[in-house]
Each structure stands twice: as structure tokens, then as C-alpha cells.
Amino acid sequence: MSKRKTIDAFLKKKDISNSEIRTPVAVETNVNTSMPDEHPSKCPKLQFEEIDRDPGSPYIEKGPYQPKNIDYPYNDDTHRRRFQPSWFKSHKDWLECSPSTDAIYCLPCYFFSKKPIGRPESDAFISTSFNNWKKVKDGMNCPLVRHVGKEPNSPHKIAVKSFQACAFRGHDERLDSKNRGNFMELIKFTSTFNDKVASVVLENAPGNAKYTSPTIQKEILHILASNVRNAIREEIGDAKFCILVDEARDESKRANGHHFERFFHIVHVRDTTALTLKNEICVVLSHYNLHIENIRGQGYDGASNMHGEWNGLQAIFLKDCPYAYYVHCMAHRLQLSLVTASREVKDVHQFFDHLVNSINIVVASSKRNDELQHAQAEQVENMIASNEIETGRGANQIGTLQRAVDTRWGSHFQSICSLIKMFDATCKVINTISEEGANYKQRGDAEGAYQVLTSFEFILILHLMKEIMGITNVLCQALQQHSQDLLNAMHLVSTTKSLIQELRDDGWEPLLASVISFCEQHEIDIPDMNARYTKGRGRYRRQDDDLTMEHHFKIGIFTVAIDFQLQELKNRFSELTTELIILNFQNMSTISELCRGLQISGKSNIYFLIDRLIRLVLTLPVSTATAERAFSAMKLLKTRLRNRMEDEFLADNMIVYIEKEIAGNFTIEIIMDEFYSMKNRH
């Protein structure tokens, strides 16, 4: 028996030598990458390199474009045929139609096929388009059915499963199981289209050539993942690089450390000590021949085991490579400065406690959420009737209060904005609970929260923190951008400091006027600003007789809160400004543009030291936000139902899922060749 008879009989490897590569015909169209209401007309991938393949892309969120209420044109054929919208029902997960080209395409293959593969039938659904309506109802020879594929591992099926981040295996894959998992059920579903396929898959396949076992699935996935990592390694070449490290617990409650330049690897560690992390990183780097002496940047969060001056991970790497400059994640620095500033001012600290408590009371149950939305609807109706607000499409939408998360300080800004927007409705619900609560605890907690919410001091701090956090939130979002560079980040920090300083110098009078207007609108008592301020209750003790209410609000809260914020920003963002030289060049808005300008003009060879400095600065990380985004992918892949996934299997899944653009370059022929070469398969 031939050496490859078994595997080729099942997978039917294409004979490239006897096949003609058909050059795709370009379809000219105006592509709007910002995602309009309709999908753009398709064009060859060679002309559409900038397509957004991120899972959060608007294309993916909207799904296949399937316009049904359109009068599709007839073709020029003698029999006058045209596209039928009813075909969407049979292929609703992938089929889409472009009215501008009067042709159909496959959305998953369009996204995950980097370039035409040379097969006319497959390329037709990716780039060259298909509109031969005569063949659509040709039984098993229907191009739509044939595109789905006969083989269990057809490129279309691989693309669809990657597109949906599906799990391959089921929890029960026995023959009598009602749900044998995505992989088995997809094979079973495909076999219903063709009796010949059904005769060689699943139970009808040869006993030694089923190629559906978990081991085989892992081997194939590992081959693809290894190809992706090798491609990333080739992309790095001999260049200097930076490492970003972060850790999180997955659904199996084990800590995982991330090591990547793009997304490169995820490794299970026995503990998170600096020495253990360093050893694990070195194992990964050495495996792919990445030398430690080429490290020029380290990016971690603020944990002591990471940034410790003497025994932290960054200090250990500096001993081996003195040029591995450590940059404390700027997003974490901003987080720490906001948290520290809020805790240092007693009134602000108490304000956030009251804010969290009040929101928790309202959103604690679905019933109270319904009451909140009903109160909002009544308020909107009354305001529209009195011409206080205008109506319009998308205006005056009913929402809910946003809960704050301690580890994401920016979420407090959303909580503050939502409370201001729904203040009347929130007070109404809390007041109702204080009167009609199920027990004395609910009534007592609600009464206390209502007293705090309707106090002038709470409203003042509410609006003050909205102003401060409105400024810092812009910086927080900018520092988490994937394309952020160090120079631009420092300019953003400087701008934020200036805006907060302007608020301190000129913001009191406008803030006080806004707070008084808000209190008058919501019938909240406004204290006499010239009256004497009393600390707490009882007799006046250790208190200046000349201390007025306005002095307390302006100096004791407004000025002190802003001063602490400014001081924390200066303390946590000062060292980079003293160590890095920031250069301003005419007509150069970013340092990356300067680098490209030197390269294009050829002056990088003349000013090679400046060019080297710029490249090193570009290599330095701004934040570890990218590493934390990888944890979101881990939550999609390793769920509560899949918490026994092995470390290597998880790492392979993650790199293929995250680096889709690179993974899409490898054809099934490449995977088959490597799969066969791993061991003899007779």
C-alpha cells in the first residue's frame, strides 16, 4: 500500500503541480473601512491588505451582509436568472451578496484567506466573485455546497470555527450522545450533503484513519500555532525587541504569565516570584533563538515582584542586559495616582464609598432596575411635555446606573456620569425603598443613602470629580491604545497636568454656579456660603471662628483634591521627563513619522546615532494594556465548561485566535505536509 494512501484518501491533498493558478479579476469599488450600513463590495485580498480582522470589527459584529428587500438584476444569459434571497436561509452563517457587483461571497473565507489560493471555486467566494446562478441548484454539484467542503478539515470549516472561536471538542463524544461537540457535529452535518462523504467519515471511516480524535486535533492545532510563532520570530529577525509580561488566573484558578512581542506565548508557572518568571521567559526566548542581550525594553505593571528595584523581574533582567530599559506601565501609573489621590482626601474618599453604596442599592435586583427605568421614562415624558428637552432619533434613551470597578478607575467616571444623568429617578427609587423596603435593614440603608445623595456637599464633590475625571479619563483611554508611542504619551501627560492646573486656577466659580443650578433644579437645600462652618456635631472645638462654608468647600475640598491629583501625577510621571530627551521637529507629529522620514530621505545612515535612539524609544512600551486584552481572549477560549484545558492546548488556541492575520497565511496543504512528517501514518 502506498505510504500516503490512507491520509490522502481521507484529506484528498491537492496536486499543485497539475493545477493552474488562476489570477483573480479585480473588482473595483470604493471601500469604506469604517463600516457603513452595508458591506463594501469585495475585492482581491492582494488589494485589501488593511482589512480589520479584529473580533470586535464592525464587519464581524454585523455578520454576513444579506439584503433581502432588493430587486436583484437578471443576468445576460438566455434563460435570464438572478440571485434569490431565499438562498440566505440555507447558508445564513456565511453567505453574503453584494448588490453593486451582483455576486456572492463567503464572509469567513473573505476575512481569513489572506490571498487567493489558486482554486477557481474557492477564489470565486473570496475575490473573483460568483454569479453563475444556473449552477446553484445543480444538486451535489452546487458551488455553494461544494464550497462548504467534503473534507472535515476543509479550509472553509477551519475559517468558520476560527471566526466563531468555537470549541472543537464536546464534553461527551460517544456515539449515543445527543451533542458530540462542534467538530463532530459539523462533520455529521456535512456528510448529509453527500453520500460519498458520509461513507468515509465518522463511524464509516477506516478504523485507523478517522483523524477526529482529540490527539489529532491537538497535533493539527499545534502545527498551525508553531507556524504562527515561527512567522513572528522571522518578523523580529535580528532587531531589538521589548517584552511585556502580565499575569492572571484562568478559569482553572491557575496563574498564567504572558510573554510576547506580538502575542507570543502563555505559560503556566508554579509561582509568580521574579526568579521563576525570569526563568520561564528565558526558556521561551531561547527556544525561538531570541537573545536576551537584544532586549531593549521591559513593560510590567506595578507589582513588587515585577518592578522591584533590587529583586524585581526588571532588576534581574538588567543584570544580564543593562540596556533592557524598564518602563512602568503608564496606564497603571495613572490608575495608582487616581486611587492614591482619592484616598488622601477624607471627603472624597467618603464620597466614593457613598457613591458605590447608593448604586448598589438601586441595581441590587431586577425589580429595582425596572423601577429605575420606569422613573426615567416618566421623567423624560414630563421634560418633553414642558419643552425642557428635545426629541430626536436616538435621544433620551433609557439606561441604568453603571457600577464602578476598583481595578478600573475609569469606571468610576462612568458611574458619576450615569448618576448625574439619572439623579431624579435614582432618588425616587431609593426614597421608595426607604418607605416600602422588605425589612428594616433595607429601609435604613436606603434612608441613609437618600440623606447623603440630597446633601449639598455630595453634589459638589459629584460635579468636582466629574470635571477632574473627565480630564484624566481621556488620558487613561489614550494610554491603552495599541499604537501609542512613548513620546506622544508624555505629551498627553503634560497636557493633562495643564488642564487640571487650569481647573484649579479658574474652575471654582463655574463649578459652584453649576452645582447651585443643579441643586435648585432638584430642590436640594443650598447652605449660606458666608455662614460659619461646623466640623461634625456638638460644641465647636479646635476650629477657626473665621472658617466659612465657602472656605471649606473651596479650600478644604476643591483645592485640596486637585492639589493631591496634581502632586500624584507629577510624582509618578516625572522620571521619564528627566531621562528622555523630547525632540520637536517641524511637520513631524509623531516620533514614528520622524523615523520613517529619516529612512525615506536616506539620512538615517548619516545620523545613525539619532536613528538608533529613535528606534530604541519606539521599542519602549507605553502600557501593558495589550497584554491584558489577551486575557479577554483567554476567557473566551478557557471557559467554565472548558476549565480542564491543558496549558499547551490553551497557548496554541490563543495564538491562532489572536494572531488571525498571520494564521490565515498557512494553507491546508502546509499543515497536511507537516502533519504527515511528524510520524509514519500507514
In CATH, which superfamily holds the domain spanning 217-329+624-678? Answer: Ribonuclease H-like superfamily/Ribonuclease H (3.30.420.10)
Query: 358-381 pLDDT, tens per residue?
Result: 998 888 788 888 888 888 888 778
φ, ψ of residue 68 in degrees (nearest 5): -105, -25
Mean pLDDT, the chain, integer? 70
The residue ranking higher by pLDDT, 427 or 274, is 427
Q: In the chain, count of helices (H) and strands (E)?
A: 31, 8
Please report the pLDDT score of residue 274 as a whole number: 77
Distance, CA of 644 to CA of 251 (rounded, Å): 9
Q: How confident is the model at residue 3 (pLDDT cuts 50, 70, 90)?
A: very low
Tell me which residue has cell 453584494: 98
Distance, CA of 221 to CA of 224 (rounded, Å): 5
Where are the chain's structural domains?
5-166, 217-329+624-678, 335-535+543-576, 583-619
Q: Are strands 103-106 and 95-98 parallel, antiparallel or unpaired?
A: antiparallel
Please report the pLDDT score of residue 543 as a whole number: 57
Please report the pLDDT score of residue 49 as a whole number: 45
Distance, CA of 578 to CA of 567 (rounded, Å): 16
Distance, CA of 480 to CA of 80 (rounded, Å): 55
Distance, CA of 362 to CA of 439 (rounded, Å): 16
Tell me which residue has cell 543584570: 319
DSSP secondary structure, 357-402, as one string = HHHHHHTTSHHHHHHHHHHHHHHHHHHHHTTSS---TT-S----PP
Please report the pLDDT score of residue 21 as a whole number: 37
395 CB neighbour count, 10 Å cutoff = 10
Q: How confident is the model at residue 217 (pLDDT cuts 50, 70, 90)?
A: confident
Angle between helices 647-658 and 625-637 (to 10 degrees): 110
Please report the pLDDT score of residue 478 as a whole number: 74
Q: Are strands 265-268 and 325-328 parallel, antiparallel or unpaired?
A: unpaired
Please report the pLDDT score of residue 8 as a whole number: 46
Q: How confident is the model at residue 576 (pLDDT cuts 50, 70, 90)?
A: very low
Please report the pLDDT score of residue 275 as a whole number: 81
Please report the pLDDT score of residue 616 as a whole number: 62
Three-state SS string across 557-573, please? Answer: HHHHHHHHHHHHHHHHC
Identity (one letter) of the amino acid at 359? Answer: I
Give mean pLDDT, residues 32-44: 45
Q: Given a cut of 60, is residue 336 above it in pLDDT?
A: yes
The answer to which of 129-143, 236-250, 471-485 has the lowest mean pLDDT is 236-250
- Residues 552, 545 contacting (CB under 8 angstroms): no
The residue ranking higher by pLDDT, 417 or 290, is 417
558 CB neighbour count, 10 Å cutoff = 22
DSSP secondary structure, 432-471, as one string = HHHHH-SSHHHHHHHHHHHHHHTSHHHHHHHHHHHHHHHH
Going by C-alpha positions, the residue among 434, 458, 473 that lies closest to residue 353 is: 458
Pull the grid cell for residue 231: 512567522
The answer to which of 59-63, 195-199, 259-263, 312-316 has the lowest mean pLDDT is 259-263
Distance, CA of 191 to CA of 187 (rounded, Å): 6
Q: Given a cut of 80, is residue 210 above it in pLDDT?
A: no
Distance, CA of 139 to CA of 632 (rounded, Å): 43
The answer to which of 30-34, 101-105, 347-351, 425-429 has the lowest mean pLDDT is 30-34
Please report the pLDDT score of residue 387 as a whole number: 72
Highest mean pLDDT among 3-7, 99-103, 187-191, 634-638: 99-103
The residue ranking higher by pLDDT, 274 or 579, is 274
The residue ranking higher by pLDDT, 422 or 640, is 422
Q: Given a cut of 80, is residue 423 above it in pLDDT?
A: yes
Q: State the sign of the Cα–Cα–Cα–Cα dihedral 542, 545, 547, 549.
A: positive
Q: How confident is the model at residue 256 (pLDDT cuts 50, 70, 90)?
A: very low
Query: 123-180 pLDDT, tens per residue?
Result: 667 666 677 777 776 666 677 766 665 554 455 555 555 444 555 555 555 666 665 6
Query: 261-283 pLDDT, tens per residue?
Result: 456 666 777 777 778 888 888 88
For the chain, how many residues are written? Answer: 682
The answer to which of 96-110, 213-227, 258-272, 430-444 has the lowest mean pLDDT is 258-272
Q: How confident is the model at residue 584 (pLDDT cuts 50, 70, 90)?
A: very low
Q: Given a cut of 90, is residue 407 above it in pLDDT?
A: no
Please report the pLDDT score of residue 95 as a whole number: 82
Distance, CA of 145 to CA of 140 (rounded, Å): 7
268 three-class SS: strand
Distance, CA of 282 to CA of 338 (rounded, Å): 35
Please report the pLDDT score of residue 670 as a whole number: 78
Q: How confident is the model at residue 46 (pLDDT cuts 50, 70, 90)?
A: very low
The residue ranking higher by pLDDT, 7 or 337, is 337
Please report the pLDDT score of residue 113 as a whole number: 60
φ, ψ of residue 623 in degrees (nearest 5): -155, 170
Give mean pLDDT, residues 333-337: 69
- Residues 569, 497 contacting (CB under 8 angstroms): yes
- Residues 280, 265 contacting (CB under 8 angstroms): no
The residue ranking higher by pLDDT, 524 or 613, is 524
φ, ψ of residue 245 in degrees (nearest 5): -130, 135
Please report the pLDDT score of residue 607 as a whole number: 57
Provide the percentage of residues in the chain whose pLDDT is more than 90: 10
Q: Given a cut of 50, is residue 304 above it in pLDDT?
A: yes
- Residues 184, 172 contacting (CB under 8 angstroms): no
Please report the pLDDT score of residue 101 as a whole number: 77
Q: How confident is the model at residue 329 (pLDDT cuts 50, 70, 90)?
A: low
Please report the pLDDT score of residue 644 as a whole number: 59
Please report the pLDDT score of residue 160 as a whole number: 54
241 three-class SS: strand
What are the C-alpha distances in Å from 667 to residues 32, 114, 186, 371, 671?
28, 10, 20, 55, 7
The residue ranking higher by pLDDT, 290 or 252, is 290
Distance, CA of 550 to CA of 529 (rounded, Å): 5
Please report the pLDDT score of residue 669 as a whole number: 76
